[in-house]
Homo-oligomer: A and B are copies of this chain.
Amino acid sequence: MSASNPDLVHALRGGIVESFHRGALAIVDADGATVLALGDVQRPVFPRSACKVMQALPLVASGAADALGLTDAELALACASHGGEPGHAATAAGMLAKAGLGTEALECGAHWPYNDSAIKALAAAGAQPSALHNNCSGKHSGFVCLGCLLAREAGRDPAEFVRGYIRPDHPVMREVTAALAAATGADLDHAPVGTDGCSIPTFAFPLRQLAHGFARIGTGAGLSDGHARAARRLRQAVAASPFHVAGSGRLDTRLMQRLGERLFCKVGAEGVYGAALPEAGLGVAIKMDDGNNARAAEVVLAAVVQALVRLDDDEQRFVQGLSDAALVNWNGITVGRLQAASGLRGALRGLRA
């Protein structure tokens, strides 16, 4: 921890910086060349949910998505950290039904929805959340669908076959981990291994490699043909159904609703963000030191999008409002601003020049 990453986001109040967020940012092209590195982009970081699109590659590349007739919404949910809104839970249930299974197949655990309205609606109905409301239920339903295909190919009972799919040595998880390694080029056999919030393994590797993986996801370059086609299909599915990758009011949904296939972006826990900028052929990876997403990584991502994605004037204003936002108190009074630091802005301007 001795190296000090630059401050990338400032929270201002009363004319001074009240709080600030340090972090690292890597922008890499599909050949793996580093276009911008701010802070330590070699330190191993857990990508957490930012890499879900990479973990979903086998679902499509295996043929499982086609065999089960998964829709755009379902493929988007397979890449999602969703808010547990009714539309998310129902879509996950639909994916499981296509695999001939039910909620009991999910091994992600249950938690109350992230979405406030969904919490209140469940509470008002006297209901409790299930694993369908877990923000990772779409990814896990995708794992179950992949497992269903593998079971059929092996002549095995799907329910029995998929059980324990969260274990590192399960055939499903081996496929998922191999896809992540192939996309990022990371040596996962020798990487620090942790357990993610949803109980699957998560591997720590350099932020630079996560950015490289996103450049490949955005361009297909450096991927196998099957993975390249799968990446394109997943990006198109998310662009067609951005609600399902996050949810009401969430940044990934809001950005991709506006920008469509010009951007694929995905939040991960602990202040991680990954993004593919297909037109520029670039991949982006962000890790905030303090693990803050909503107030830090999101602002950095917005500044990157503003600088490097082709935007019309309306879109510029929209994204500017995300990278330099008013902080408003309970009476609706503007009390400060949350903004991308000038050093970050300057570094991004340098790239465009």
Contacts and interface: CB of A to CB of B under 8 A. Distances in A.
Interface of A: 1, 4, 7, 10-11, 13-22, 44-46, 107-112, 116, 119-121, 123-124, 126, 134, 192-199, 202, 204, 270-271, 288-292, 295-296, 329-333, 335-336, 341
18 contacts: A1-B17, A4-B4, A13-B195, A14-B193, A14-B194, A14-B195, A14-B204, A15-B192, A21-B290, A107-B331, A108-B331, A109-B329, A119-B123, A195-B329, A197-B329, A198-B330, A199-B333, A290-B290
A85 to B, nearest CB: 15
Nearest to A331: B109
Contacts of A198: 329-330
Closest 10 CB pairs of A and B: A14-B194, A109-B330, A19-B291, A120-B123, A290-B290, A13-B194, A109-B331, A4-B4, A195-B335, A123-B123
A168 to B, nearest CB: 12
A112 B46 CA distance: 33
A329 B109 CA distance: 8
Nearest to A1: B7
Nearest to A123: B120
A161 B191 CA distance: 66
Contacts of A291: 11, 18-19, 295
A38 to B, nearest CB: 14
A14 B199 contact: no
Contacts of A11: 270, 291
A134 B123 CA distance: 21
A300 B257 CA distance: 41
Nearest to A135: B330
A19 B286 CA distance: 13
A316 to B, nearest CB: 27
B18 A335 contact: no
Given A109-B331, A119-B123, A18 B45 contact: yes
A292 B289 contact: no
Contacts of A331: 107-109, 199
A284 B119 CA distance: 37
Contact of A292 (B110, B290, B332): B290
Nearest to A109: B330
Contact of A14 (B7, B46, B123): B46
Most buried by B among A19, A290, A332: A290
A134 B296 CA distance: 25
A29 to B, nearest CB: 27
